[in-house]
Amino acid sequence: MASVGFIGAVAVAPTALPSSRSAFVSATRPVVGVAAPPAVGAARATMMTPPPPGGAAASPASLKTDTVEGVALTASEPQNIADTVYDATVPDARGRYGRFGGQYVPETLMFALEELEAGYAAAIADPAFHEEVNGLLKDFVGRPTPLYFAERLTQHYARADGSGPRIWFKREDLNHTGAHKINNSVMQAVLAKRLGKTRIIAETGAGQHGVATATVCARFGMECEVYMGAQDMERQALNVFRMRLLGARVIPVTAGAGTLSNALSEAIRDWVTRPVETHYIVGSVAGPHPYPYIVRQAHAVIGAETRGQAVAKFGGAPDILIACVGGGSNAIGLFHEFKGDADVRLIGVEAAGKGLDSGEHAATMSRGSLGVLHGSMSYQLQDEWGQLQETHSVSAGLDYPSVGPEHSFMKDTGRCEYVSVTDDEALDAFKLCSRLEGIIPALETAHALAHLDKLCPEVEGNPNIVINLSGRGDKDVNTVVKLFHERGDTDVMG
Ligand SMILES: Cc1ncc(COP(=O)(O)O)c(C=O)c1O
């Protein structure tokens, strides 16, 4: 069972929002119970009010002052999702995306978050920062990545008369280290250098963020420690070796299921103890503000490039964007540019694991409820007492019981649709993409590809669909060999 406290989940009624900056900050104090890290001896957090079933909209009766461990949190924000309107300018000054986000952290980390927020604001006002980051993205990472026409997949989904959706890949798999993650690691490493930090920590699930972070640390000569769940170390052994080769120390996390969520918890515990010299490169649009914001900004290059490339290749904006969602960084990176284009349909694909009703999945948007995890309010997979549910996905990068707060906001406001895909559907798409396009996708990415099976027969006309090809599948070959063997896929097993 997962741990609780600031690092663990706390289910709250949708009204439990502090009403002002000072209340907001005070809500981060350990006594509140949503904020105390086990590392500093905090008590177990207790949920006082069960979440509404399925995390749905609060009924008017529940819109009242709520209490978490005896501390009143008074709502003064949009209290009912029906009142929540989409606003593309999020987050607000307090790091809120509607009712989501915030900084549910212990007092000891507030200084580090404030330092980061101020340091980032100063950096983006400095042309030298942009010059350094853009130079690295171009010559070290290999940007811009192509927008590639997936001709044979398009033919595969064509109607009998040859018409149908046109499928494009945004080739983040062609980045140095093989995934989108390095956009963020490069930007944060440059930022950490400006902040005078000498030590970098990170968490990783699929290992792509760990490899990207180890890579930039090698490039800058910085000490690097990566927390990784023990189960993930086994299924992503290749990436563990890559990180070690790059000079990083990989620290196994055996707590809980030994997956991404547990690794994130351990990384935060580490950061609490040594915030002065350490910069924590969070690997997705999760965690306390300003992480969901700065990680989004680092990946926004994906959508910005896509807009120009789409105009050049097919004369306008794409009609539909699809991306897989673990914490949500590759999806936000692609979507951010187009959030204000009301006619661009956004689709996030989560992991349905063995099926939504199996209890073994990571479909936070489909089955989550409101709560606090890893310093941020968002949807979580938790029981009625706020205990995290163990998740399952064939893909380590989607095996996470929460999601970035901006995604929760886009779900509530209807700006983005969230769907889910099972392990088996993802494995079929993994094979299909390899065979039709000569591109072996990451298992995470295969979830986004698998949704084409449902979407393509439903769409009308010839929409241009852009899929974020978030990473390449080399890291997954060991996992997939075993699974294809179990499934009896003789066509690939020989
Ligand atoms: C290739 C790839 N795609 C997607 C993800 C999911 O992360 P996010 O939702 O933050 O993009 C991961 C995570 O490790 C990944 O390695």
Domain that holds residue 186: 108-139+181-280
How many angstroms separate the Cα of 323 from the Cα of each of 71, 408, 448, 452?
Answer: 39, 15, 5, 11
Pocket test for ligand 1, best of 174, 184, 329 (most atoms within 8 A of CB): 329
- Cβ of 470 less than 6 Å from ligand 1: yes
User: Ligand 1: distance of its center to the CA of 162 in Å?
Assistant: 33
Q: Give the closest residue to 265 by CA, choosing from 22, 52, 29, 42.
A: 42
Ligand 1 centroid–CA 88 distance in Å is: 23
Q: Identify whether 70 is part of a domain.
A: no
Atom of ligand 1 nearest to the CA of 330: 11
Of 206, 211, 201, nearest in space to 176 by CA? 211
- Report how many domains make up the chain: 1
- 217 in a domain, yes or no? yes
Residue 14 in contact with ligand 1 by CB distance below 6 A? no
| Spatial contact of 19 and 25, defined as CB atoms under 8 Å apart | no
The answer to the question of residue 237 being in a domain is yes
* Structure token digits, residue 288: 């306390």
- Per the domain annotation, does 174 fall within a domain? no
Give every strand in the sheet of 345-353, ordered side by side: 147-149, 166-170, 464-468, 320-324, 345-353, 416-422
Given this model, what pLDDT does residue 494 score?
81
Ligand 1 contacts CB of residue 209 (under 6 A): yes
Residue closest by Cα to atom 7 of ligand 1: 326
Q: Which residue lies with its CA nearest to atom 5 of ligand 1?
A: 397
Pocket test for ligand 1, best of 172, 175, 177, 180 (most atoms within 8 A of CB): 180
Tell me if 444 CB under 6 Å of ligand 1.
yes
Q: Rounded to an integer, what distance in angstroms lies between the CA atom of residue 174 and that of residue 469?
A: 9
How far is residue 133 from each of residues 51, 305, 451, measured CA to CA in Å? 42, 16, 34
Asked whether residue 187 is assigned to any structural domain, the reply reads yes
Q: Is the CB of 236 under 6 A from ligand 1?
A: no
Q: Which two tokens stand for residue 461?
A: 């006309």
In a domain, 240, yes or no: yes
Tell me which residue has its CA closest to atom 14 in ligand 1: 397
- For ligand 1, what atom is nearest to the CA of residue 204? 14
CA angle in degrees (0–180, nearest 5) for 39-185-339: 100
- Residue 67, classified by CB atoms within 10 Å of its CB into exposed (0-12), middle (13-18) or buried (19+), is middle
How far apart, in Å, do the first and last CA atoms of the chain sit? Answer: 40
Q: What is the distance in A from the centroid of ligand 1 to the CA of 360?
A: 19
pLDDT in tens, the chain (494 residues): 333 345 666 665 543 333 333 222 223 322 222 222 222 222 222 222 223 333 333 322 222 223 333 233 333 344 456 667 888 899 999 999 999 999 999 998 999 999 999 999 999 999 999 999 999 999 999 999 999 999 999 999 999 999 999 999 999 999 999 999 999 999 999 999 999 999 999 999 999 999 999 999 999 999 999 999 999 999 999 999 999 999 999 999 999 999 999 999 999 999 999 999 999 999 999 999 999 999 999 999 999 999 999 999 999 999 999 999 999 999 999 999 999 999 999 999 999 999 999 999 999 999 999 999 999 999 999 998 999 999 999 999 999 999 999 999 999 999 999 999 999 999 999 999 999 999 999 999 999 999 999 999 999 999 999 999 999 999 999 999 999 999 999 999 88
Task: Please check whether residue 212 lies inside any domain of the structure.
Answer: yes
Residue owning the nearest CA to atom 13 of ligand 1: 397
What is the model's pLDDT at position 215? 98
The reported pLDDT for the residue numbered 9 is 65
Residue nearest to atom 4 of ligand 1 (CA): 444
- Using CA atoms, how far residue 366 sits from 54, 75, 356, 474, 489, in Å, is 8, 25, 8, 29, 30
CA of 453 to the centre of ligand 1 (A): 21
CATH number of 265's domain: 3.40.50.1100
Residue 339: inside a domain: no
Cβ of 473 below 6 Å from ligand 1 = no
- List residues with catalytic annotation: 181, 203, 470
Q: In this predicted structure, what is the pLDDT of residue 82?
A: 61
Residue 88 confidence (pLDDT): 85
pLDDT for the residue 30:
26
- Cβ–Cβ contacts within 10 Å for residue 166, how many? 21
DSSP state of 382: B
Determine if ligand 1 sits within 6 Å of the CB of residue 378: no
pLDDT at 86: 86
